[in-house]
Amino acid sequence: MNLSKEIQYVKGVGPNRAELLNRLGIFTLKDLITYYPRAYEDRSKVKNIAECVNGEEALIEAVACGKLSDVRLHGKTMQKLLVKDETGSATITWFNQSYLKSKFKMGEKYKFYGKIINSFGKITMNSPVFDEEEGNFNTGKIIPLYPLTYKLSQNILRRIMENGLLEVEGELKETLPEYILKQYNLEEINEATKKIHFPKELKDFDIARKRFVFEELLSTQLALLQIKNSVMNEQNGIEFSKEAKMSDVINQLPFKLTKAQLRVLEEIDRDMESKKSMNRLLQGDVGSGKTVVAMCAAYKAVKCGYQVAIMAPTAILATQHLENFQKILKNLNIRCELLISGISKKKKEELLERLVNGEIDILIGTHAIIEENVKFKNLGLVVTDEQHRFGVKQRTKIANKGENPDVLVMTATPIPRTLALILYGDLDISIIDELPPNRKKVETFAVKKNMTERVNIFIEKQIKEGHQAYIVCPLVEENEELDLKSVEKLYETYKTQIFPQYKVEYIHGKMKAKEKDLIMERFKSGDIDVLISTTVIEVGVDVPNSNIMVVENAERFGLAQLHQLRGRVGRGEYQSYCILKYEGRSETVKERMQVMCETNDGFVISEKDLELRGSGDFFGTMQHGLPEFKIANLFEDMPILKMVQSLASKIVSEDPKLEKSENALLKELVKDKFMNRIEI
């Protein structure tokens, strides 16, 4: 058995199918057997024909009462076969499958699995899979369903999988240490591999799955902790001077920093002055004042003769950061510039030239900063302001533009500690857990559709008092199925029917950066009363005069995302409001809305989100940026994640480099993780 054997040489594959399998990320025998099913179909229990219910998928065992016959219908040929068991009869049909004729013999017994149509007691099954009485390829067992690509059918992949599993049967080497298997009651690898693909009973699958989830999470967590350890022990970071004082910036600010901001700045200051490079995550709720923290750190780096890169998720945000930085730092003679993809070629060339010559101190921008041709003279600090998580690889990429620069990662998504540890396990964590004083709580209401008129009257009242409103809708394109309102449509309604007397505009993610910036500028300057928007405003845009936000179809959003959105209002001195319009009666939806109305604390919300969420919407519906796990699901597998984390930290504290013999296998797992295509 050779696990690294190329996939095309596995029985039943060959060069053509190998190409299809490659598209699924399957290149070797090992990739194949670790390609896990996304679901299972239980085709193990035979049903009596008389008991078949309309719409269900069922397995029947029945005798062919005649031959397969062709029936012409609308230019197509349909094949019909009448079958019966002791309880009744059924018609089995296929389309354009004349070749099936040779497969059935009158009087023989077959097993059929497919969807039942029961029309007034007349049972039909269309295009089922089948086996002969003794056969068991398609029926009589629990069948795995794999995530698939075009041109590769479940049947083909299942056959290949069976062949692959035969090759390795009983010969897989255990990848987890004996003591871990015992302590956590995990199944041995050969048994688990067989059962994850072809469970005899559904509970087999749970047991097998637990083992692989455990293994995957443990190796990821250990890998992250290893990165963290190795970075920590390196003494070749920049030692920023104690002489450069962050207080120069603090003294320029029009407000007093909160205790939490000061504490975090101390942590950063200490990191910057030490020999090791800083790798720190700064977590702080929306509006907690992360920007000035970044500014102080940037100032210190510049004062010590280094350049700083600040990376934001959108052009709007980058521009806003630039304005904020310039406001304060121009008094301190620091040169800030903006690099976003919208700027002209000429301007960009000139900017890159000045950057490499060291004539720019702080470069603020979007992903454009990562590009190859962006070169610094001496990059000393990298700050990423994340909407979502950049992977370890991306962080490394930008850090490589300098020699071991310090790295500060900021996130406004408050995440529970367990998640932070697996998403950012390579970083030290600082938390701003306090908002600046005198922030008024955003009053939040959850309402049903029938309240729309009253909501509109309320919005108008705010506009009349000189304020501005955000209306958030979930999608750009009309999707009738989900009944989500498109921005354009919503815009038309508000502009022509609801508020024709006010200035209504819209903004969405598919607009050009320039158009978006223009709209945001106009909104900021008060030229727009009502802004209809998708979640592009989710991230950090600051318009203190807008004090009301209405979210349409709020039930479609994750709580963390709603919280982010809500953070756009309540930035000024006025009372602000957030109105969540929702549909649906489910208890979970109601409870979710209630959480939003009751608390403004992002950490509480994120914990609740985790508790109440149905599917992967923690970071918004897209699950953007979460690391790809082959089998683990961070949310459903939270209990395993917790076990794994305490185990991982115990292992690393007792055996930091995994040198003990009992951990030899773990060392292999971690090595594999680093070498593999898996992104962490």
DSSP 69: E
- Do residues 33 and 165 touch, judged by C-beta distance below 8 A? yes
Residue with tokens 């309320």: 458
Q: Of ligand ADP, Mg ion, none, which one sits near residue 589, judging by CB under 5 to 8 A according to partner kind?
A: none
Does 290 participate in binding ligand ADP (rule CB under 6 A)? yes
Q: Binding segment for Mg ion among 4-12, 61-69, 304-312, 534-542 (CB under 5 A)?
A: 534-542
In the list Mg ion, ligand ADP, none, the entry touching 200 (Cβ below 5 to 8 angstroms by class) is none
Least Å distance, CB 365 to ligand ADP, is 17
- Nearer CB in complex with ligand ADP: 361/386: 386
341 token code pair: 């993809």
Which positions ≥6 away from 615 have C-beta within 8 Å? none
Enumerate the H helices of 62-183 as residue ranges: 154-168, 178-183
Single-letter amino acid code for the residue at 647: L
Binding mask 77-106 for Mg ion (x = CB under 5 A): ------------------------------
> Whole-number minimum distance, CB 291 to Mg ion, in Å?
5
Among the listed ranges 129-137, 254-262, 325-333, 400-408, the one in contact with ligand ADP (CB under 6 A) is 254-262
Quote the least distance from Cβ 379 to ligand ADP, whole Å. 23
* Residue of 37, 144, 199, 284 that binds ligand ADP (CB under 6 A): 284
Q: Is 288 in the site for ligand ADP (CB under 6 A)?
A: yes
Query: How crowded is residue 656: how many other Cβ atoms within 10 Å of its Cβ?
Result: 14
* Distance, C-alpha 538 to centroid of its chain: 16
423's tokens: 């998403």
72 in Cβ contact with 50 (< 8 Å): no
Give the relative orientation of helices 559-566 and 602-612 as an angle to the nearest 10 degrees: 150
Q: Which stretch binds ligand ADP (CB under 6 A): 285-293, 494-502, 527-535, 596-604?
A: 285-293
- Stretch of 72-80, 158-166, 287-295, 447-455 contacting ligand ADP, by CB under 6 A: 287-295
**Angstrom distance (rounded) from CA 320 to CA 327:** 11
**Residue 292 contacts which entry, ligand ADP, Mg ion, none (Cβ below 5-8 A, type-dependent):** ligand ADP
Asked if 314 is part of the footprint of ligand ADP (rule: CB under 6 A), the reply reads: no
For ligand ADP, the closer CB: 424 or 494: 424
Q: Is 365 in the site for ligand ADP (CB under 6 A)?
A: no
How far apart are CB 436 and ligand ADP at their closest, in Å? Answer: 3
How would you write 554-617 as a 3-class SS string?
HHHCCHHHHHHHHCCCCCCCCCCEEEEECCCCCHHHHHHHHHHHHCCCHHHHHHHHHHHCCCCC
In terms of CB distance, is 114 or 540 closer to Mg ion? 540
**Which of 37, 140, 289, 474 touches ligand ADP (CB under 6 A)?**
289
The residue number whose beta carbon is nearest to ligand ADP equals 289
Comparison of 433 and 492: residue with beta carbon closer to Mg ion: 433
Given a contact cutoff of 8 angstroms between Cβ atoms, the answer to whether 564 and 538 are in contact is yes
Output the smallest distance, CB 23 to Mg ion, in A.
39
State how far the Cα of 136 lies from the Cα of 63, in Å rounded to an integer: 17
Q: Which of residues 504-543 bind ligand ADP (CB under 6 A)?
A: 540, 542
Structure-block tokens of residue 111: 């097993």
How do beta strands 122-126 and 141-145 pair?
Answer: unpaired
List the 428-432 sheet strands across, edge first. Answer: 336-339, 362-365, 307-311, 379-386, 406-411, 279-284, 428-432
Residue 176 is classified by DSSP as S
Return the range that interacts with ligand ADP (CB under 6 A); candidates 94-102, 235-243, 283-291, 422-430: 283-291
Residues 462/548, Cβ–Cβ less than 8 Å: yes
Residue 68: name the closest of 35, 116, 110 by CA. Answer: 110
Contacting ligand ADP within 256-275 (CB under 6 A): 256-258, 261
Report what 288 binds from ligand ADP, Mg ion, none; CB cut-off 5-8 Å by kind.
ligand ADP
Among 177, 237, 287, 405, binds ligand ADP (CB under 6 A): 287
Q: Name residues contacting ligand ADP, limited to 32-61 (CB under 6 A).
A: none
Task: Give the nearer residue to ligand ADP in terms of CB position, either 294 or 652.
Answer: 294
Q: How far is CA 344 from CA 163, 313, 445, in A?
A: 57, 20, 45
Q: Please give the single-letter amino acid code of residue 182.
A: K
Taking the C-alpha atoms of residue 69 and residue 155, their distance in angstroms, rounded to an integer, is: 25
Instruction: Note whether 325 and 295 are within 8 A (CB).
Output: yes
Specify the residue, 213 or 415, whose C-beta has the smaller distance to Mg ion.
Answer: 415
Using Cβ positions, the residue closest to Mg ion within the complex turns out to be 540
Provide the minimum distance between the beta carbon of 284 and ligand ADP in the complex, in angstroms, as a whole number: 5
DSSP three-state, residue 365: strand
Beta strands 69-73 and 406-411: pairing type? unpaired
542 binds, options ligand ADP, Mg ion, none, Cβ within 5 to 8 A by partner type = ligand ADP
Of 435, 439, 426, nearest to 399 by C-alpha is 426
- Asked if 540 touches Mg ion (CB under 5 A), the answer is yes
Total residues binding Mg ion (CB under 5 A): 1
- In this chain, which of 193, 226, 277, 291 binds ligand ADP, going by CB under 6 A? 291
Strands 577-581 and 57-64 turn out to be unpaired
DSSP-derived secondary structure letter, 531: E
In the list 95, 99, 179, 255, the residue contacting ligand ADP (rule: CB under 6 A) is 255
Residue 570 engages Mg ion in binding (rule: CB under 5 A): no
Annotate each residue in 430-449 with x if it binds ligand ADP (CB under 6 A) or - if it does not, as one string.
------x-------------
Number of H helices, E strands in the chain: 21, 23
Q: Is 221 in the site for ligand ADP (CB under 6 A)?
A: no
Among 223, 412, 520, 550, binds ligand ADP (CB under 6 A): 412
Amino acid (one-letter) located at 588: T
Q: Which is nearer to ligand ADP, 10 or 282 (CB)?
A: 282
Cβ distance to ligand ADP smaller for residue 123 or 264: 264
The mark string for 485-524 relative to Mg ion (x by CB under 5 A, - otherwise) is ----------------------------------------
Between CA 449 and CA 455 the distance in angstroms is 10
Beta bridge partners of 122: 119
Q: Which residues are near ligand ADP by CB under 6 A? A: 255-258, 261, 284, 286-292, 412, 436, 540, 542
Q: Which residues are near Mg ion by CB under 5 A? A: 540
